[in-house]
A and B are shown apart, each in its own frame.
Chain A
Amino acid sequence: MTPTQDPNGDASASSPGWGRVEVHAGPGVVDRHGDALLVVPSVGAGQAERTAELLQLHRHTPDPTGRRRLRHAAWVLTEAEPEEVPDFALVVGTGTALRVLAHGSLTVTVHGPAEQSFSAADALTWLERTIDAPYDRVTVVGEPAGPARAPGAMPFDLEAGTVPGSGVTLWAARLPQPPLLARVPGTAREPAPPPTPVPTAEPIPVPTPPPAPPPAPVQPAHPRPAQPAPTPASAVTQGHTVLRAVAPFRSMRLAGRPGGSAGSGGSGAPPTSRRPPLPVGTVTPPGSAAPPRPGEVVMVEGVVCRAGHFGDPEEASCRTCGAPRESGAERVTQPRPPLGVLVTDDGSVFTLTGDYVLGRDPGRAPAVLSGAAAPLVLRDEEHSTSRVHARLTLSGWTVRVSDGGSANGTFVSRSGPAGPWTPVDTGTGTRLYPGDRVRVGHRQLLFDCYHEPLRP
């Protein structure tokens, strides 16, 4: 029975059917090696020795059916005095089935397509079961069952090793697994041969103080991302304990095959509904009105140029096509088209269909919250822009910029990036013309309109 321990304790290769193993808080001990779980909800006085023996069960390798380990557990139960053995459950994965041997006040519950639950409390010796139906998760808890974890505590996944605990929830691998937040290595003690007596070589068959965690008073209420409880002197090695914190995870499987049907499942979203085909042909030709924001159409008075573009009557020529304004042209009232574009210094383009609030966190501005203005985020590493820095206001055909009480001020240049920058006040502000640049902190914006080159 030479122990062939895996010093890394990496269980992933040997437990293909197992997903996360979530440890419940408690004063006992939970041990995992590969495809075997030992759950001891609490270790009473005088039970440390037998608990240590049970913790050595994983040394029976190879043991693909679990037979050797279960039989050794049964041997411990028959050989020892009843009060020397704590309540425990041994769960061994064999292929896709689980073999369970339980003794004492423990309940094993199988959640999934075939729900079942069994308790070892009534058995005088022990209870042995095989779980071979597919399951979503299996819980093993002592009675009375405490909460799985203290409120606010992180769930942890035990990959290998021995930790304080009083129960487990074993998740099936085929379900979406909560991903890991962190990987915390436990104490990697040197693999040592079976316990040697401390300090002399007396052939006393009593093993040295067991590595099981000390009784309740010293224990924390829930597993910490740390070592198994500290033990004195030389102890039977635990190998490498690996605990990982798990985080909420959502997923949806998509149809992968050509011609496949709608995908759903995982923590699924509702099935996607079909949409009608897109309209064919143009809905909004350039230069004409498009609903700027849902529900907001501004009607203004203007003139229609020779080419059919609706524009500002005060201008000398049509902004879109350049055709000169005819004097005495009839004024009509129509929805206002976009007044131009805003181009930021990082290349983002915004269409000027309504007011904007500029800043590094413009979503807080009352105008944005009320829906009167859209947020335009401008930020940089030095926080040179204030949260609410400036406001662009559209009124009729004019565009104005006003400062919003910013720390670094707002400036306008009419003549390019080098040109004199004129400060903008916080009141009515400055009117903007196409080509003007606005500076907020270290960021810049260009206001431009689009011209169609004159058609030949």
Chain B
Amino acid sequence: MEGAGDYVFLREIGRGPHGRVFLARTPPRVDIPDRQVAVKVLLVPGTDEGFDALSAELGLFADVGSPRLLTLHDVAMDGGTLFYAMRHQVLGSLASPTREVPRRERLAAVARAAHAAHELHEAGIVHRAIKPSNIFLDPAGAVLAEPEVSHVVSRGQPLTGLSTRAGGFELELVDPALMRGGRAGRASDIWALGVTLHLALTGYGLYPALVSADPMVAVRMYLRSRPEPDADLSDGERAVVMRALQPDPAARYTTAEELAQDIERVARG
């Protein structure tokens, strides 16, 4: 893809189930000091209603105005293609950093993401997509990327359901309570933060038996298993993870802020 709107794409820097991310040259219309930005192009086709819904949702996110949230610049639609531009974080994410990240920094990054999630919750926003690839590293402190937006765009269109790619850790990032009909909210984001913390510290998920080529079998097993934390965690770290991953949402941390403070307490040792 060469570009979208007045963005000229330089190269692709990421690809996910909902779209592709490109490094692009900043057009004159967007008045910022950075010469390059990251542009995410959504796979979902765009309509006028979809554009309105997308810009409302991302506008709400941008309006929170927290330094712990990824900076978004611009939302646009070109013909039927929806895309938005954001700050390009050169240091990469917790999932794919451009250099080795010491354990203490990983703890700090997840704690900052938890603080950021709390700020979103206070602004009435559920993130729905907290994971290591959505926490970007930055010299001034990690930032949490924008939330899941595809469902906002395709509101009027057929449901795609929760997308879970068995084999990746996508499945266990989804709170089982959501699959049972529960509603997304603070508790499901806190679940995702717990899994993210575990992934960031150990590199492994909490459901070792979920290695199955068949997504259906994986979901069956997931709905019947309990999380098993890796041995490579300190007692404090394990306690934090397990409290975030309580099967009953009422037994988890009540706010992401509590979780953030617990992580920081553990980091201090």
Contacts and interface: CB of A to CB of B under 8 A. Distances in A.
A342 B179 CA distance: 9
Contact of B181 (A280, A346, A351, A446): A351
Given A272-B63, A453-B224, A285 B250 contact: yes
A254 B164 contact: no
B60 A272 contact: yes
B4 interface: yes
Contacts of A16: 28
A254 B78 contact: no
A275 B123 contact: yes
Interface residues of B, number: 78
Given A258-B66, A281-B254, A347-B163, 17 more contacts: A250-B77, A254-B59, A256-B32, A269-B55, A277-B124, A278-B185, A278-B186, A285-B182, A285-B248, A286-B177, A290-B181, A343-B219, A345-B216, A353-B181, A377-B160, A446-B219, A453-B224
A274 B123 contact: yes
The 3 closest A-B pairs by CB, nearest first: A275-B124, A347-B215, A338-B181
A200 B117 CA distance: 81
Contacts of B55: 252, 254, 269
Contacts of B125: 275, 278
Contacts of A258: 65-67, 71
B72 interface: yes
Interface string A319-344: 00000000000000000011001111
Contacts of A350: 159, 161-162
A278 B181 contact: no
A259 interface: yes
A286 B77 contact: no
B5 A179 contact: yes
A52 B157 CA distance: 57
A263 B32 CA distance: 14
Contact of B158 (A176, A255, A271, A376): A376
Nearest to A368: B158
B29 interface: yes
B5 A251 contact: yes
B239 interface: no
Interface string A376-388: 1100000000000
Nearest to A340: B180
Given A251-B75, A286-B249, A450-B224, A348 B182 contact: no
B29 A175 contact: yes
A185 to B, nearest CB: 16
A126 B130 CA distance: 66
Given A253-B30, A253-B74, A348 B160 contact: yes
A282 B123 CA distance: 18
Given A272-B56, A286-B182, A263 B4 contact: no
Contact of A346 (B28, B65, B187, B215): B215
A interface, size bucket: 35 or more
B62 A254 contact: yes
B59 A286 contact: no
Given A174-B29, A254-B72, A446-B219, A349 B182 contact: no
A435 B224 CA distance: 13
A67 interface: no
A257 B65 contact: yes
A144 interface: no
A176 B29 contact: yes
B225 to A, nearest CB: 8
B183 interface: yes
B32 A284 contact: no
A104 interface: no
B152 interface: no
Given A269-B59, A350-B161, A251 B171 contact: no
Interface in B28-68: 28-30, 32, 48, 51-52, 55-56, 58-60, 62-63, 65-67
B164 A347 contact: yes
27 contacts: A174-B28, A176-B6, A247-B78, A251-B74, A251-B76, A251-B77, A252-B55, A254-B84, A259-B65, A261-B63, A276-B124, A278-B124, A278-B126, A280-B186, A284-B182, A286-B247, A287-B180, A292-B181, A341-B180, A343-B219, A343-B220, A344-B216, A348-B160, A353-B181, A362-B158, A444-B216, A446-B216
Given A258-B67, A349-B179, A450-B224, A274 B124 contact: yes
Given A251-B5, A278-B126, A446-B220, A256 B73 contact: yes
A193 to B, nearest CB: 35
B176 interface: yes
Given A251-B75, A275-B125, A262 B215 contact: no
B218 interface: yes
Contacts of A296: none
A253 B67 CA distance: 18
A177 interface: yes
A260 interface: yes
Q: Which of A254, A275, A377 has the most CB of B within 10 A?
A: A254
A269 B62 CA distance: 14
A347 B29 contact: no
Contact of A263 (B51, B62, B122, B215): B62
B159 to A, nearest CB: 6
Contacts of A250: 48, 51, 76-77
A181 interface: yes
Interface string B1-22: 0011110000000000000000
Nearest to B184: A278
Contacts of B185: 278-279, 283
B165 interface: yes
A34 interface: no
Interface string B144-162: 0000000000000111111
Contact of A249 (B5, B63, B71, B248): B5
A263 B179 CA distance: 35
Interface string A151-164: 00000000000000
Nearest to B71: A256
Interface in A405-456: 417, 435, 437, 444, 446, 448, 450-453
